[in-house]
Amino acid sequence: MVNLIRGLRWRWFRARFLWQNGRQVTALGENNCFMSPVRGGGAGKLRIGQANCFGYWLSPRLGSGEILLQARSPEAEISIGDGNAFSNNVTVVACGKIQIGSHCQVGDLTAIYDCDFHEIDPATRTRGVGEIRPVRIGNNVWLGSRAMVLKGVEIGDNSVIGSMSLVTQSVPPNCLAAGVPARVIRQIGGNGPAASATAST
């Protein structure tokens, strides 16, 4: 009975996501699992691969655990690969482009932004979103709970970002980075799915 109820909820969350964001979803692969509501609401494009999981029953959640994937402007694009696991209350907002690879793990309350949403100068602060710089998350990356990734950051394959870290600079592949702002702490092994895929190409 529990599995039946969960199955119905997954189908409902997926149907609602497509109903609310059908014009923005330019690609949605097979076997994506919607354990939490997913909201878009932007004017750009959402490209989602296959076998991704959005939300997790056993993880902490605020309210419904809603996940926000918002390509805000008409030119904006969020691209998500295959086999990623997003925990609850994740926020991804693009005014330009945010790319997330495959086989990534994204902790609860993690946020990824490609701009500041306001200009710095007090005289023009409400004029626009400020500088937009693309964000790229590689393959097999683990973003710990409550991490925040800001504009212009590239995180290399297999790297790990510690919980509650603020990532303002790019992180090379196969590294553990943490802190506010995040700094590389040490190298880690590169034997995950991304490494295997890279080795075979």
Q: Which domains does the chain have, with CATH numbers?
A: 2-189 (2.160.10.10)
CB 2: neighbour CB atoms within 10 A?
Answer: 7
Give the pLDDT means over successive 10-residue stretches in the chain (201 positions): 65 84 86 94 93 93 95 96 98 98 98 94 86 97 98 98 98 98 91 43 26
The two structure tokens encoding residue 127 = 């004029």
Q: In this predicted structure, what is the pLDDT of residue 27?
A: 87
Q: In this predicted structure, what is the pLDDT of residue 123?
A: 85
CB 144: neighbour CB atoms within 10 A?
Answer: 17
In this structure, which long-range contacts are made by residues 128-133, counting pairs with CB atoms below 8 Å and at least 24 apart in sequence?
A: 129/95, 132/95, 132/96, 133/96
Q: In this predicted structure, what is the pLDDT of residue 127?
A: 86
Sheet containing strand 160-161, edge to edge, reads 33-34, 53-54, 85-86, 105-106, 142-143, 160-161, 175-179, 182-187
Active site residues: 118
Q: In this predicted structure, what is the pLDDT of residue 198?
A: 36
Q: In this predicted structure, what is the pLDDT of residue 42?
A: 86
Handedness of CA 184, 186, 187, 189 (dihedral sign): negative
